[in-house]
Amino acid sequence: MAVPKKTSAIKSTSQHLLGIQNLSIIESKKILEEAKAFISLNRSASKKLDILRGKTQINLFFEPSTRTQSSFDLAGKRLGADVMTMNVSNSALKKGETLMDTAMTLNAMHPDIIVIRHQDSGAPNLLSQKVNCAVINAGDGQREHPTQALLDALTIINRKGKIEGLKIAICGDILHSRVARSNIYLMNMLGAEVNVIGPKTLMPSSVERLGVKSFTDMKKGLDKCDIVMMLRLQNERMQGTFLPSKREYYEFFGLTPEKLRFASKDALIMHPGPMNRGVEIDTKLADDINVSLVKEQVELGVAVRMACLKIYCK
Amino acid sequence: MAVPKKTSAIKSTSQHLLGIQNLSIIESKKILEEAKAFISLNRSASKKLDILRGKTQINLFFEPSTRTQSSFDLAGKRLGADVMTMNVSNSALKKGETLMDTAMTLNAMHPDIIVIRHQDSGAPNLLSQKVNCAVINAGDGQREHPTQALLDALTIINRKGKIEGLKIAICGDILHSRVARSNIYLMNMLGAEVNVIGPKTLMPSSVERLGVKSFTDMKKGLDKCDIVMMLRLQNERMQGTFLPSKREYYEFFGLTPEKLRFASKDALIMHPGPMNRGVEIDTKLADDINVSLVKEQVELGVAVRMACLKIYCK
Amino acid sequence: MAVPKKTSAIKSTSQHLLGIQNLSIIESKKILEEAKAFISLNRSASKKLDILRGKTQINLFFEPSTRTQSSFDLAGKRLGADVMTMNVSNSALKKGETLMDTAMTLNAMHPDIIVIRHQDSGAPNLLSQKVNCAVINAGDGQREHPTQALLDALTIINRKGKIEGLKIAICGDILHSRVARSNIYLMNMLGAEVNVIGPKTLMPSSVERLGVKSFTDMKKGLDKCDIVMMLRLQNERMQGTFLPSKREYYEFFGLTPEKLRFASKDALIMHPGPMNRGVEIDTKLADDINVSLVKEQVELGVAVRMACLKIYCK
């Protein structure tokens, strides 16, 4: 974790939100602070501001997404922006070239902000070098999903009052997860202690370098944890080389009431969604409003995206 | 027809519009009354109000639809709402679970109203139990399509001045039609006499219990009718067990100028669209502006949806 | 070129923008003049007007399109219109009937303007006869793409100060190109001299009747040209009867720095996009901001569409 060089920054070093790795503590806290104000707006009867009136927001989604796309769409509209969403089918397109030609075309139309999701790691960075507007990464390959980590942080702060000093477990397919990566960076930066738990085949080889402790045993990994973040298991991992079977995965790594008892007494559960009920999480546990923060994550997600749009939109 | 218990209600007993069956006479008349004001707005040069400014409307369509979706989309935008439309492909999804997880996710984003179309009867009811916002049913399986019946009622009132005392024929695939069901409930409630006409294989077994007379002969069924509502014949019924052939269907149940003569002299024709020209209706008759109300139904549909959005949006 | 009869018109003879062929010089110049004002608006920090507030714009796209659809979408939103975009899959539909039934349905919803792209030549004309609102052709079959020609004209004027007296080459698949047709009409009308260049198999038989000179040799065709417009080569032409191979096409008709030297010393390059790099144009040349106007074409495209929406929207 290369935290020191970032904490020294006082102002945003970047005009883009490409990843938590590029974010200073001050920037992170500013986003979280701004987002808090939007939580209550979203709960009120009238959810409309004129902050981004006259601004153009383009949602450029190369991968399908229900919740992230909806969340950014509503966030922009509630701030008064003109929002245009483009779902770019990738099947017929040559990657790379397409992204750049699409970027050049959209940039010429003078958007103020582009929200991009792409299956290739680093695509938002490439895009940001070619356009004049701000770029927000809404998930790139297996690299980062910064607004997911920020909404997770806001959700934890909303419930636990802080992140500093907490012990947070991230469980599942750490290897392929951009959610895990962004959360490791952010939770570490904000002063939490992070455990990652998963089968060896789904664990990056030198994950400890990211400043976490790594476990293959839920009992040990969950010990004294205040927050248990479950990751979505991609269907394509569930057979073949990575995992023997869904059933066996659930047996060892699926979060059940029994396994949750290994964690702290008042531990709370999170999941970025959509959930594979009965695979990575017990379905009753997922819906238990006493311990599951899943709904709150979605709710505060809109507030976090509103904050990001407000801050990065020039 | 369980009308009595509903007529006693003075205020809306429900915060959702799930079906005509759940609606009182007073509620129906209130929607129709509100809708009248929007007819002239939609015909004017400037079609924009701020009534729903600050409100979020989500159109959640699990079945594709051109006219109903467009109608709700324009209705919401003209009232100033922030409108987000989601076309949810069902192919890859497990039904039920998906609806509920999608509902939970969307609900957490604080919409004020969700307009839902779903292939399963009862899906909007299920949804309404899980969300905090108002739900409007835009068609569910073979159950109800309440805004279609309401726009049909408004169209009739607009032309005939009333519904009470009229004789209305509904012709075609009564068995599978949510449009037929909603219209039977509403026209009955508003004091019309309703005949249903169709082949035996497409007629519910004890349809008379709904308060209608049932016919398999167009000549008898259309006798003295003021309104002839034709239903769309789904392509999947046109072969196999339900119907011998399109040609034979047209011969016996397709509305032609000859068959229309069995009805009242000044009878008017309706169709919810899209029409199968040459199957359930003669193409010239469909376009004859002296007898066909098809265009007017679409036009007043926007007004009815505006009224529903205004009334149900909290 | 039947220019004379058009130049006599002082006011718009049409309420629709169906093609450059139906446009007078005065109308063309009015659109270009209006568009100029929008160039600077689009470059400013706040890009929002209320000119079309209360108006409904429907984008009806029967063919997929990224840039034209985005351009019209943003143009309408920036002018304050309620914009609804419909992507109509054609696979399942019977052509013709569908267009007309869709048109009738949409027209009944009282749009103020319909922007249509359709694979059949003449579809926008047919549509315009059936609706009460203004129709803008966003590309129909192999006939016209008037807003593309208008944005090309605006781009040339923006750089060269005028069109009159310029020599313009249009190169590639003239036979199938609606962009070529609209540009031939418009550039001729505005006083340019037009050369068309392409292989014989992709050249209309009596193209000279349109008022152009025709060449099969780039060297001769580009001689003294101030503007070189390259056309997109459709993938479906690249094999079989029209062309032997991509490679051979590039050899003879692909624009390279070498071939560009045949043109005027300060010649500028245009392309309607999306480009087939290495087929009709050298990739470095396409990106060379000293000679390539590709980005500017996209940029000014939004301004031209805003002007058209403003002028034609009743």
- Using one digit for the tens of pLDDT, what is the confidence trace for C170-182? 999 999 999 999 9
The tokens for C196 are 């068309």
pLDDT over threshold 60, residue C38: yes
d(CA C265, CA C255): 15
Say which residue the tokens 């959005």 belong to: B309
Say if residue B251 is exposed, middle or buried (CB neighbours under 10 Å; 0-12, 13-18, 19+).
Answer: exposed
The pLDDT score that the predictor gives to residue B94 is 47
Q: List the single best residue of B298, B300, B302 to mutate versus C (max C Cβ within 10 A).
A: B298
What is the average pLDDT across C228-238? 85
Q: CA-to-CA distance for B91 and A181, rounded, in angstroms?
A: 31
Quick check: A42 and B314 CB within 8 A? no
CA–CA separation, A309 and A5 (whole Å): 25
* DSSP single-letter state for residue C174: T
In total, chain B counts a number of residues equal to 314
**Tens digits of residue pLDDT in C288-311:** 999 999 999 999 999 999 999 999
- What residue has token string 């419930």? A159
Residue bearing the bigger pLDDT, A91 or C286: C286
Q: Which residues, including other chains, have CB under 8 Å from residue C29's CB and lie 6 or more apart?
A: none
User: A130 and chain C: CB distance < 8 Å anywhere?
Assistant: no
Cα A117 to Cα A115: distance, rounded to the nearest angstrom: 7
- The confidence score (pLDDT) of residue A239 equals 63
Query: Which residues lie below 8 Å from residue A249, measured CB to CB, with a gap of 6+?
Result: A199, A233, A238, A243, A279, A280
CA of C114 to nearest chain B CA: how many angstroms apart? Answer: 14
Cβ-based contacts of B42 with chain C (< 8 Å): 109-110
3-state helix, strand, coil in chain C (%, to 5): 45, 15, 40
C-chain CB neighbours of B46 within 8 Å are: 53-55
With CB atoms and an 8 Å threshold, state whether B296 touches C56: no
Residue C218, min C-alpha distance to chain B (Å): 48
Closest CA to A276 of A228, A220, A237: A237
Are C82 and B48 a contacting pair at CB < 8 A?
yes
Q: Measure the CA–CA gap between C222 and C170, rounded to whole angstroms.
A: 9
The pairs formed by B287-292 with CB atoms below 8 angstroms and a separation of 24 or more are: B291/B260, B291/B267, B292/B268
Distance (Å) from the alpha carbon of A207 to chain C's nearest alpha carbon: 41
Is B161 within 8 Å of chain A by CB?
A: no
What pLDDT was estimated at residue B108? 97
Low-confidence ranges of chain A (pLDDT < 50): 1-12, 91-92, 94-95
Confirm or reject contact between B110 and chain A (CB < 8 A): yes
Of the candidates C185, C194, C93, the one whose C-alpha atom is nearest the C-alpha of residue C146 is C185
Q: What is the pLDDT of residue B13?
A: 54
Q: Is A106 an 8 Å CB contact of chain C? A: yes
Can you give the pLDDT at residue B242? Answer: 76
Which residues face C118 on adjacent strands?
C140
Q: How far apart are CA C37 and CA C311, in angstroms?
A: 13
Which residue is listed with tokens 């309408």?
C76
Give CA–CA dist A303/A287, Å, rounded.
22
Identify the band that residue C103 occupies on the pLDDT scale cut at 50, 70 and 90. confident
CB atoms within 10 A of CB A245: 10
Q: Do B70 and C86 touch (CB under 8 A)?
A: yes
Average pLDDT score over residue span C5-34: 79
A58, A107, A110: residue with CB nearest C42: A110
Mean pLDDT of chain A: 91
CB contact under 8 A, A109 and C275: no
In the prediction, which pLDDT does A244 show? 75
**A292 to A43, A173, B103, B176, C10: CA distances (angstroms):** 20, 20, 17, 41, 70
**DSSP secondary structure code for residue C245 in this structure:** -
Q: How confident is the model at residue C66 (pLDDT cuts 50, 70, 90)?
A: confident
Q: Which of B266, B257, B286 is nearest to B274 (CA)?
A: B286
SS3 A183: helix
Q: C67 — contact with chain A (CB < 8 Å)?
A: yes
User: Which residues of chain B fall short of a pLDDT of 70?
Assistant: 1-13, 89-97, 237-240
Distance separating alpha carbons of residues C170 and C173, to the nearest angstrom: 9
Q: Which of A239-253, C76-90, C128-142 bottoms out in mean pLDDT, i.e. has the lowest?
A: A239-253
pLDDT at residue B238, as a whole number: 65
Mutate to test the interface with A, among B59, B98, B104, B109 (most CBs of A within 10 A): B109
State chain C's mean pLDDT as an integer: 91
**Tokens linked to A194:** 């992070």
pLDDT of residue A100: 82
Could you please report the per-residue DSSP string of B156-169? HHHHHS--TT-EEE
Model ipTM value: 0.91
Give the mutation candidate from C50, C73, C86, C110 for the B interface (greatest B CB count, under 10 A): C110
Cβ-based contacts of C66 with chain A (< 8 Å): 86, 88, 102, 105
Residue B2 makes CB contacts below 8 A (sequence gap 6+) with none
Q: How far is A253 from chain B (nearest CA, A)?
A: 22
